Amino acid sequence: MSKQILKPVIRLTTCGSVDDGKSTLIGRLLVETDSIPHDTVASARNIRRGGSTIAAGEIDFSLLTDGLEAEREQGITIDVAYRSMSLLNGSRLIIADAPGHEQYTRNMAVAASRSDVALVLIDAARGVRPQTLRHLTICALMGVSRVAIVINKLDIFDYSQEKFNEITKSIEGAVSRLKIKDHAFIPVSALAGDNVVHKGANLDWFTGPTLLEYIQNQNLEIDTMTSPHFSIQYISRVGTFRGLAGTLVNGTFSVGDQVTVLPGKNQATISKMITFDGELSTASHGQTLNILLEPEVDAARGDVLHLASNQVIPADRFTANLVWLSESELIHSRSYLLISGSTTTPAIVTSIRHRINPEFGEKDSVKVLKMNEIAEVEIATDIAIALTNYDVSRETGNFILVDRSTLNTVAAGMVVHALRRSANITEQRYEVSAQSRADQKGQTGKVIWLTGLSGSGKSTIANEVAKELFASGRHAYVLDGDNLRLGLNKDLGFSKAGRAENVRRVSEVAKLMLDAGLIVIVALVSPFRVDRDQARELFKPGEFIEVWINTPPELCAARDPKGLYQKAASGELQNLTGVGQEYEPPLNAELVIDGTVDIAINTEKLMEVAK
């Protein structure tokens, strides 16, 4: 058996619907444990929210956890407010008062992702609400190990045991479905103080613990039986010294241990471990240190060290639970940045297996995810990374997705398990290279990507350039958007997700044709900048040439070679690019073509870049 280490810091998140009384409850908990400065408490006796009914001179406990003026004006918690207090067992308790409004569920999810204990609050007058169940679901997905389900405002019902039992029964099914084993139902009155810190005579029928007793009579420990994990945050170099700097989680490392550097799978032995306080023979969970390896194998930021005897197998396909945090929809087949610890890699959501209904647990079939929705998805990363199952380790099984254009965090993810599909696939190297094939044809292979509105002239120009290249003895092929939708992409629609997958498939085909040594001309609306940028990343510098056919929308509509603008005007076509769906012009295209000038002039310009 491995050693169990008591956590020095316990994290508690509070969640519930708006006006359930979270801030009041936590404020009272802090005041009655003398964890708030006295001058702050005095201020809470004199300041009142709009519409407050608290008597003059009494403490408005809810003010003690609000950090934004906007929160006080609206009477709701927007941001996550943090407070700390000491527990009798010697641990420090960090309290995160998470927002209750549905709009700010993402803030609550972030708080829960780091918490050991969750406090899910229910207003006895309102009962179990959809937001209550959403919060409970997120706590379960985020791996919160203990949950206190606190039924507040029982003073309204004269502290009725029957009311408490009724509400308890209404949520027991969800607790069972979510497999929350360590939980407790606790009746309280945050306003009067009953059963928060002290029992109180009003709830003498309840034989369980007070809220404070439940929190501090816990046994949250680190299980070092899981595989130790050291994520390299940076390489420290001073003279001949080369250390791997990072933080150790989930166990211990000792000098002499043989470790594997993932994903490269290089093996070495730990020769030294150095901290600011000196050298260590053994390092444990949470320690930040420099590790020296013998021999000095190749290792970089984002790589991870595992014990060679118990290493994680890197993978590039994962099933994961995803909480979507962005106001913009999740578009599968679009590239995002996946960040886990110090590891960053491009990734795409290849499929949404199902959306999870937090109210009743149904698994709904959907094509997109909207803000605050939860789903099980499949994710593919560009490189193999060493992620563990989230139920094994929260530290090494979590990730976030970041929008590549805005760099905003759009999702929080928890790995269910790695998909071993790629483990059975090995890239086959052939002796005849892409360069050899291009040299045989006497040309330089490249991809010329024509983007622009329907009717801008992409296909017409592509046709003329292909004819000129053919006449000059060069080997070229045109990948036309409409032609591909008659075959390879006939299953795709014109939603954002459909267009993202369309671009992805076309770019992969273009890459294969480039490998054959061809000059590839792509004529594709490809309206979204992020999708075109994702296509560009498949190619080496100089191989991908983006060409914007810049034709005024009114001229495109006047040309209307396919009758699409007429259909859009009649309402028959809802998402025509430039009419019902936006078009994002390139910001740094290698070439911009004026679609209003003579076709011969534009053909000549393109022939220059095709050489």
pLDDT tens for 130-164 read 888 888 988 888 888 789 999 999 999 999 999 99
**Is 526 part of the annotated catalytic residue set?**
yes
Residue 176 lies in a domain: yes
User: In angstroms, rounded to a whole number, what is the distance separating the alpha carbons of residues 80 and 94?
Assistant: 12
Residues 375, 261 within the same domain: no
- The catalytic residue among 23, 472, 526, 570 is 526
Residues 177, 259 within the same domain: no
Which of the four pLDDT bands, split at 50, 70 and 90, describes residue 55? Answer: low
Q: What is the pTM (predicted TM-score) of this model?
A: 0.74
DSSP 113-138: HT-SEEEEEEETTT-S-HHHHHHHHH
Residue 349 lies in a domain: yes
CATH number at residue 569: 3.40.50.300
Q: What is the dihedral of CA 458, 461, 466, 472, to 10 degrees?
A: -150
Last residue of a domain, one of 310, 331, 362: 310
Segment 78-94, tens digit of pLDDT: 556 677 887 766 778 88
DSSP 3-state of 96: strand
Residues 243, 106 within the same domain: no
Residues 148, 89 within the same domain: yes
DSSP 26-70: HHHHHHHTT-S-HHHHHHHHH---TT--PPTTS--GGGGG---HH
Residues 117, 21 within the same domain: yes
| Residue 485 structural domain | 434-610
Last residue of a domain, one of 267, 286, 310: 310
User: In angstroms, rounded to a whole number, what is the distance separating the alpha carbons of residues 28 and 121?
Assistant: 14
Residues 106, 197 within the same domain: yes
- The mean pLDDT of 208-237, rounded to a whole number, is 75
CB 553 within 8 A of CB 453: yes
User: In angstroms, rounded to a whole number, what is the distance separating the alpha carbons of residues 257 and 535?
Assistant: 43
Residue 209 lies in a domain: yes
Residues 158, 297 within the same domain: no
β-pairing, 476-480 vs 544-550, is: unpaired
User: In angstroms, rounded to a whole number, what is the distance separating the alpha carbons of residues 68 and 78?
Assistant: 8
Quote the pLDDT of residue 573.
81
Residues 158, 180 within the same domain: yes
User: In angstroms, rounded to a whole number, what is the distance separating the alpha carbons of residues 438 and 430?
Assistant: 15
Residues 32, 160 within the same domain: yes
**Is residue 71 pLDDT above 60, yes or no?**
no
Which of the four pLDDT bands, split at 50, 70 and 90, describes residue 72? Answer: very low
Residues 256, 400 within the same domain: no
Segment 540-592, tens digit of pLDDT: 999 999 999 999 999 999 998 888 888 888 888 877 887 778 899 999 999 99
CATH number at residue 418: 2.40.30.10
Contacts of 584 (CB under 8 A, 6+ apart): 527, 528, 529
Between residues 55 and 582, the one the model is more confident about: 582
Residue 429 lies in a domain: no
Residues 246, 207 within the same domain: no
Residues 507, 543 within the same domain: yes
DSSP 3-state of 18: coil
Segment 435-452, tens digit of pLDDT: 999 999 999 999 999 999
User: In angstroms, rounded to a whole number, what is the distance separating the alpha carbons of residues 52 and 58?
Assistant: 11
Last residue of a domain, one of 376, 400, 424: 424
What is the total count of domains within the chain?
Answer: 4
